[in-house]
Structure 1
Amino acid sequence: MTWLSLVLLLFTMAVYYGIKSLYRRKPKIYLSPLLLTPAVVIVLLLQADIPYETYNAGAHWLTDMIGPATIALAVPLYKNVALLRKYAVEIMASVLVGSAAGVATSVWIAKGLHLDVKIIDGLVLRSTTTPIAIAITDMIGGIPAMTALFVLVTGLLGTVVGPMLIRLFRIRSGVAQGVLLGTSAHTAGTTTAFEFGAVSGTVSSIAMLVTALLALVVVPWLVLLL
């Protein structure tokens, strides 16, 4: 890693924590760290004409932490295991239906637009957490960069649309909030769910993980049909 890569890594972290601090004081969606941090970094790379390879030589340490961060979600799951047992059937049924609907609509719209099969491969994984989505993409011969983009966009939309739907339909149940955000918007949705409360965040965590496991089983088989 060169000194420039190290500087860019530190810059990315500084931008993220700075925006996150601002977001805590003024929680508006347009100030979301997930939205603004990539935008600031992209503008810097373009304006300074810095190759992505140079940036990623240092920044890959951040992406490598996504896996451990996902595993760390086991902590709130353990703390709320009694709640999960109580609503296990409802959670599993909702996640199954939500995941199936997400995959079906993605394929249906993509087919209607006559998109390339490799693009469809990425679209059906859009609600899957990034590490697993990338791993599945490698398995089925898709385009990891496209998959990562679809996952990112889905997460951002989930953090915007999810809370709007919760307020619009007056969803008070932490279980329902968690299933909605975790099934549709993976890690980003789970982060938002924890803002609603520990129950919402915990259920969102399990919904996200179940969605990822379903994708691991179903998507390779679905690709064969496509």
Structure 2
Amino acid sequence: MIAGFISLTATLVVYILAKRAYSAKKMFWLSPLLVTPAALVVLLIFTHTSYETYNSGGKWLSYMLSPATVAFAIPLYKHYPLIKKHASQILISVLAGAAVAAVSSALMAFVLHLNPQIVYSLVPRSVTTPIAMDVSEWIGGIPTITAVFVILTGILGSAIGPAIIRLFRIKDDVARGVLLGTSAHGAGTSKAFEFSSLAGTVSSVSMIIAALVTLFLTPSVFMMIDPFL
């Protein structure tokens, strides 16, 4: 009980400090998604703490992921008229992006001759963590490995996304939101809110749609690659 409380407290403290550092200096390598896991790994190694001991407290943060998603309803309500106006563009773009993400993940894993369980863990990497872990377990993957892939995808997407936006001079907040939400889910949505409230709202909608598309698309991808594994 005490070890779990210490683990939970340490995670929150490290995250808050990383968040403050990132707010002061908007640098990619200071991102809380990057700094927090790295700092915790170093801390666990230094204190000789097992993952099981850490997770006795850290797991409560994972449990809070699903209900935390409800918070996206607030900006969604605020920008509902604009979301409704651009609904068709958002839907088509997200459908294409989610399909490419799922299929490309499967093909990449197949080409690299990865272990079947790793392949199944990799397929749902482009959606938010709670759904990705459920899909992974459903098709025979390893949820914890899927969570790692999801985090890596989010970090890379939130880092590369703004560069792509600058490169192609994308000034429309709807387009920015779709790009970041579809490709980098929660991390991308956090980055989208740095552009504007509208971009963040569109990103959260895109993330949710992408998750739903992945839920329906994954069985088809699974059936497509399973005979070759």
TM-score for the superposition, normalised by structure 1? 0.96
Instruction: Write out per-residue CA displacement over residues 107-129 of structure 1, whole angstroms, 9 at most, x where no aligned residue.
Output: 22222111222212222211110
Which residue of structure 2 lines up, in the alignment, with residue 109 of structure 1? 108
Query: For residues 135-146 of structure 1, what are the structure 2 equivalents within 5 Å?
Result: 135-146=134-145
* Residue identity in the other structure for 1:60: K
Which residue of structure 1 lines up, in the alignment, with residue 180 of structure 2? 181
Instruction: Write out per-residue CA displacement over residues 75-117 of structure 1, whole angstroms, 9 at most, x where no aligned residue.
Output: 1111111011100010001001111111222222222111222
Counterpart of 2:125 in 1: which secondary structure?
A: coil
Which residue of structure 2 lines up, in the alignment, with residue 153 of structure 1? 152
Q: Distance in 2 between matches of 1:40 and 1:57?
A: 18
Query: For residues 1-226 of structure 1, what are the structure 2 equivalents within 5 Å?
Result: 2-226=1-225
Q: Distance in 1 between matches of 2:123 and 2:178?
A: 19
CA contact (8 A) 1:124 1:219 kept: yes
CA contact (8 A) 2:123 2:218 kept: yes
Paired residue total? 225
Gaps of 5+ in 1: none
Moved over 6 A (4+): none
Q: Distance in 2 between matches of 1:124 and 1:144?
A: 11
CA contact (8 A) 1:136 1:220 kept: no
Q: Distance in 2 between matches of 1:106 and 1:157?
A: 15
Gaps of 5+ in 2: none
CA contact (8 A) 2:177 2:199 kept: yes
State the shift of 1:221 in Å: 2.9
Q: Distance in 1 between matches of 2:121 and 2:163?
A: 26
* Residue identity in the other structure for 2:208: L
Counterpart of 1:45 in 2: which secondary structure?
A: helix
Please give the root-mean-square deviation of Cα atoms over the aligned residues, in Å.
1.1
Q: Distance in 1 between matches of 2:221 and 2:31?
A: 34
Identity percentage over the alignment?
Answer: 48
CA contact (8 A) 1:77 1:202 kept: yes
Instruction: Write out per-residue CA displacement over residues 177-196 of structure 1, whole angstroms, 9 at most, x where no aligned residue.
Output: 00000000111110110010
Q: Distance in 1 between matches of 2:101 and 2:195?
A: 23
CA contact (8 A) 2:109 2:119 kept: yes
Q: Distance in 1 between matches of 2:45 and 2:25?
A: 29
Q: Distance in 1 between matches of 2:25 and 2:102?
A: 35
Instruction: Write out per-residue CA displacement over residues 29-49 of structure 1, whole angstroms, 9 at most, x where no aligned residue.
Output: 111111001100011111211
